[in-house]
Structure 1
Amino acid sequence: MGPKAFVMEYWRLILIVAFVGGALVALFIPGGIVADDSLAGEEAEVEDRATNIEYGLGLDGGTRVSAPPVGMTADNLEIEHDEQRQLTEALLAYEYDDADLESADVRVRFHENDNRYTAEIFSDEVSHAEFADALNSADIGLEVTEDGVEDGVTQQTRDSIIQTIELRINEAGLSGGNAYEEATLGGQYYIVTEVPGMEPDELRELLSDRGDVRIVAFHPDGDGGQANQTVLEGQEIAEPGVASYDDQRDQHYVPVTVDGTEDEDGNSPASEYQNSMNELGFTGEGQGRCHIQDRQAGEFDFDPDDPQWCLLTVVDGDVVDAHSMGGDLGDNMAAGTWVNDPTFRMIVPTQQDAHHLAVNLQSGALEAPLDFSQEQTFTVQPSQAEQFQLYSLLIGGLAVLTVCGMIFLRYRNPKVAAPMFLTAMAEVVILLGFAAAIRMPLDLSHVAGFIAVVGTGVDDLVIIADEVMDDGDVSSSRVFESRFRKAFWIIGAAAATTIIALSPLAVLSLGDLRGFAIITILGVLIGVLITRPAYGDILQRLLTDK
């Protein structure tokens, strides 16, 4: 038999062997099937684990924090595209009673899918009436009333918050964490963040940081005083590096590359930063003239009789470091050549500050802060999670033993029972391998899904065995294939019904029910497409003359 004929003859068995082999690689080989650069810092942890399976909150301990975004929205604004910036400036210039808004607190967004504009303010110190008045003050013909303002933020803002949180979790080296949104019956949306192995205060700190990073120029204002001017924002940094240390200069820093992409006028963030440094004197008389920092005390007072040219690293409105313009960097900017390789170091006092700065630069700023006054927190202690792991293993083993016993009592024929048991276990191994390959954190809901998969899978295999063994003799391959097709239609229809019934649970944000539905649906698909046909092929070769 040639290779092609062999593959055509045994393709169902080859398929299940290939999937089981791939699953075993994903489960037990360090790094699994798909290489992931984000695991570089976790190699030691991976080697210490028996498998590549990651555990979620219920099986590893950790914290879940749910909180709504802070903000309010005015929708369906009748403005033109060239009025978008004017409206943003009006929202920032308006004199609110209790709020002092910055550019990060305001967003005017165009929605291309339905051709509409929305305005958002991410502050809880602005009233609906003030928001409406600020919109109307733009002098572009808007007539927004207080009733036209709603609490909450847009879907795009929520998606951006979730993406930023997930990036923060990954950059912080926290495996198994995820973020998603849940809707309440009242129409309010909560951002839910789950991180195994983290205490509530640690997770709350990770989420409470807005992550707004800026470089502020502290320079003489020409009237004998000092002035602050933002010269670079976090989103203008194209390639932030990792936390680093220069032992020769005793500096903790993050290397960054400023975005050099030019707009239609030939300007870029890099060229504008260079021009600002030249215009404000940092590359001339201001080189090396920053003496206001007490690095240990974190104080930034200055002598009014001694003009200062300091570059302040500001995170969420707090100055974390101040340093002067270096000679080499200043000379390159003065000559206009720095823009050709727009890199520099953002210096901070400690390694922890450098790591925190790098995470914020990599993930970006939270588009809107979260309202922790309405938070909901759920915590599982590691000791309790270890008990859940043990109980899950015991329940899973008990389910397998029960299935084995029922199969043996039912058939008392090793040719039927042994392949049935092995096929059911292969289905579980493939599911576990899939979870390990995509780094799906397994939780208690997934364990329930695995047990359901074992039960429904064996049910289908019993249907196949009963149908093909009906009326006794099944030695003819033609008779076997006819009966198998009939059984397969039955289990196929049952699988379709199961998938349709569980699909809403898998799509909707319903907490643990979602994990149960996803695992069950995946198990049904693997069974119908891979394991059931393979079991039929094995049974045919054991019971017929083929």
Structure 2
Amino acid sequence: MGRAKKIFTNGRVILMLIFIALALLAISPTIKTEGVAITFVEKGSAADIAGIQKPPGGANPRSLEVIKRIDNYFIADEADYFAAIKAINKSVVENQLSEKVVVITTNKKLYTVLLESVVDEKRTGEYVIKNITTEKNVTQIINGSKVVALENITEEVREAETIKTVLGIQNLGIRVVKAPGSNLRKGIDLAGGVRVLLQPEVELDDKNMSLIIKIMENRLNHLGLANINIRKVTNIKGDQFISVEVTGFNEKQVVNLLSQQGKFEAKIANQTVFVGGKDIKNVCTSSQCSRIESCSRSGNQIFCNYFFQVTISPESAQRFAEITEKLEVIPSEDPTNPVLSEKIDFFLDDQYEQSLSISADLKGKPETTVRITGSAIGKDEDEARINSRDEIQNLQAILLTGSIPVKMNIVQSDAFSPILGKEALNNTILVGLLSILGVAAIIFIRFRKLAISIPVMITMLIEVFLILGFAAFFGWELDLVALAGIIIATGTGVDDQIVIADEVLTGKKRFESWKTRIKKAFFIIIGAYLTTIAGIFPLFWAGAGLLKGFAFTTIVGVSFGVLITRPAFARIVKVLLKE
């Protein structure tokens, strides 16, 4: 009891305990988690309208809003979430409902969300006559004076007969992940995702580099991605790069979206009507004006046709009116719908993409709503629909964000599997624990004293915990190179603790005072610390910043060791050896 009191009342040990408590608060671990955390809410979606908020950038994982229940479906993980959405969608299709109200219960609030149905409307080839009654201003002569009055006028209108079929409910508009059990953030090589390294064709100043990063962030945000890390990096030579890390998304779509300059133009008779970015006021993402219309087979492939609507600026609409005013009206394949003599052509990065006919009704009108159509192919319908959704998202993102001012070249692109990342993390933890036990055993064999080997093992674990707490507090992502840095830091810590133990025991034989022995030990430790820092520091820029995690955890680890854990270890050993 006397030894324990001496240990835990010592200032160095108390300081270490304070840092352990702070690390515990930063990590905020929990044993069991249930539910799915909301990582993204699409603007204008059903969830957004219901009041569900997108988490702020850099939010701690444990602070995310967690969905616990959807209607009567209990949500424990992602599988439960998607099963609940699938069951609700099935019910809407079976009952051909025009809308569905669902109640979402989170750890913070209860939300009532109105989900509209996605309807497929097909023409039967027949026409029906409908009586349409509208109010119109009619001029009458009453007592010799002209009087304008409102009258109900009924007119016969010939319309194409259609059949409507409910295909399902609209997208809820959120992205979710399994509710996190701590504030530790995994890097893409552990959580799964894509890392892309891009280099501009010409050297850029800080203003243009920041503009490009902002455009890339907006493009990826449109895809509904939550964990996005885009930063400017340089190598030792000073070459400029942009590093993009995206957790949990497919490599092909991210690379295509980032590598495209994204110069979108709409032309009529070779005259520009509008361009992506500055002329686009809104891009519809709801199921009512953005969806896959139909899929059909052609040979061995499936084609899926899609469309979405965009709203252009009044200035662009006026250019549309001025250009179309000069065009002639010609018949089309549908005799009831004549068209103009020129089509509207769409170009992406100066490459022709598609053309659309312009209805004769729009001649000379400043139309602000434009319908964009396209198609994608696949080996089966599922693949064709996935490719169609990817194309829709890419085009919408490019239209909203505009073009990147310079061409970006893909230097490196890597995709990481979350399954392999989980296995790598588990193996790293197992190997780390075995290493700590092995080191403790070797130290016991060398010194033959549990009073040294046990504190060494405990100190190693404390150093790892402090590094993790520091990373959680500053929101640093832990990847494989960062874990390697932790191992290096704890390894240097063992070296230092052996130096302390060796000086304590050998100095005792030389009848040196405790203070003299510790001074000698820390002279060696400080020299090794400064050498390590000098050797590791350049890695912040090596490999275009890809080794930054290794440098960060190594420097933090050895600094914690020299400033916090080594002095506490020395005091503990002194007490246990009855100095």
Matched, 1:56 2:187: yes
Which structure 2 residue ranges, 5 or more long, are not aligned?
Answer: 1-7, 38-55, 68-77, 79-175, 290-306, 323-338, 345-353, 375-387
CA contact (8 A) 1:427 1:527 kept: yes
Q: With the length of structure 1 as denominator, give the TM-score of the two structures.
A: 0.55
Identical aligned residues as a percent: 26
Q: Does 1:302 align with 2:337?
A: no
Mapped to 1, the partners of 2:253 and 2:201 lie a distance apart of 21
What per-residue deviation string (whole Å, max 9, x for no partner) do you get for residues 253-276 of structure 1? 9999x9xxxxxxxxxxxxxx7799
User: For 1:442 and 1:192, how far apart are their aligned partners in 2?
Assistant: 16
Matched, 1:506 2:540: yes
Residue equivalent to 1:175: 227
Quick one: which of 204, 216, 220 aligns to 2:255? 204
Change (3 A) 1:50 1:9: closer
The 5 A counterparts of 1:70-219 are 70-71=201-202, 152-154=203-205, 156-166=207-217, 168-169=219-220, 172=223, 173-175=225-227, 177-181=229-233, 189-210=240-261
Q: Kindly indicate whether the alpha-carbon contact (under 8 Å) linking 1:452 and 1:520 is maintained by their aligned counterparts in 2.
A: yes
Report Cα offsets for 1:95-120 as digits up to 9, x if no partner: xxxxxxxxxxxxxxxxxxxxxxxxxx
Alpha-carbon distance, 1:518 to partner: 2.4
For 2:370 and 2:181, the matched residues in 1 are separated by: 43
Q: Which residue of 2 aligns with 1:83?
A: none
Change (3 A) 1:202 1:439: farther
Aligned to 1:366: 404
Is the 1:53–1:441 contact (alpha carbons within 8 Å) kept by the matching residues of 2? Answer: yes
- Rounded Cα–Cα distance in structure 2 between residues aligned with 1:503 and 1:492: 16
Q: Which of residues 491, 502, 525 in structure 2 aligns to 1:455?
A: 491
More strand by share: 2
Equivalent residue number for residue 25 of structure 1: 28
Distance in 2 separating the partners of 1:421 and 1:353: 54
Q: Which residue in the other structure is 2:368 paired with?
A: 311
Counterparts of 2:465 and 2:12, CA distance in 1: 25
- Give the Cα–Cα distance (whole angstroms) in 2 for the partners of residues 457 and 56 of structure 1: 25
1:498-544 Cα shifts (integer Å, max 9, x gaps)? 10111111233456544322221121112122222332343344445
Contact 2:309 2:369 (C-alpha < 8 Å) held by counterparts = no
User: Structure 1: where are the runs of 5+ without partners?
Assistant: 72-151, 219-224, 259-272, 283-290, 322-349
- Determine the C-alpha separation between the residues in 2 that align with 1:253 and 1:505: 47
What pairs up with 1:319-398 in 2 under 5 angstroms?
319=372, 366-371=404-409, 375-382=411-418, 384-398=420-434
| Displacement of 1:310 | 1.4
Between Structure 1 and Structure 2, the one with more helix by share is 1
What is the alpha-carbon distance in structure 1 between the residues aligned to residue 316 and residue 257 of structure 2? 33
* 3-state DSSP of counterpart to 1:519: helix
Alignment partners' CA distance in 2, 1:58 and 1:415? 39
Whether the 8 Å contact between 2:234 and 2:541 is mirrored in structure 1 is no
Structure 2 distance, partners of 1:455, 1:280, is: 69
Q: Deviations over 1:38-71 (max 9, x none)?
A: 9658876554555544433443444443443245
Whole-Å separation in 2 of the counterparts to 1:520 and 1:9:
22
CA distance in 2, matches of 1:171, 1:37: 19
Determine if the alignment matches structure 1 residue 428 to structure 2 residue 464.
yes
Alpha-carbon distance in structure 2 between the residues aligned to 1:246 and 1:54: 37
**Structure 2 contact 219–398 (Cα < 8 Å) conserved:** yes
Tell me the residue number matched to 2:439.
Answer: 403
Q: 3-state DSSP class of the match of 1:371?
A: strand
Root mean square deviation of aligned Cα: 5.3
- 1:469 & 1:242 partners in 2: Cα distance? 75
Q: 197-206 or 466-475: which moved more?
A: 466-475
The alpha-carbon deviation at position 454 of structure 1 amounts to 1.6
Distance of 2:239 and 2:532 partners within structure 1:
31
- Using the alignment, how far apart are the partners of 1:520 and 1:10 within structure 2? 23
Provide the C-alpha distance between the structure 2 equivalents of 1:444 and 1:9, rounded to a whole number of angstroms: 32
Once the two structures are TM-superposed, the CA of residue 404 in structure 1 deviates from its matched residue by 1.7
> Is 2:570 aligned against 1:536?
yes
Is 1:497 aligned to 2:531, yes or no? yes
Report if the CA contact (8 A) 1:183-1:509 is conserved. yes
Instruction: Tell me, yes or no, if the aligned pair for 1:7 and 1:14 is still in contact at 8 Å.
Output: no
Amino acid at match of 1:371: N
* Distance verdict in 2 for CA 1:521–1:231, change over 3 Å: closer
Counterparts of 1:254 and 1:540 in 2: how far apart (Å)? 75
Write the distance in 2 (CA, Å) between the matches of 1:441 and 1:456. Answer: 22
Change (3 A) 1:10 1:58: closer
Matches within 5 A, 1:467-486: 467-472=503-508, 479-486=513-520
Please list the CA deviations of residues 133-189 of structure 1 after superposition, one character each: whole Å capped at 9, or x if unmatched: xxxxxxxxxxxxxxxxxxx5445434443454355446642537555545597x864
| 8 Å CA contact retained: 1:217, 1:311 | no
Tell me what 2:129 maps to. none
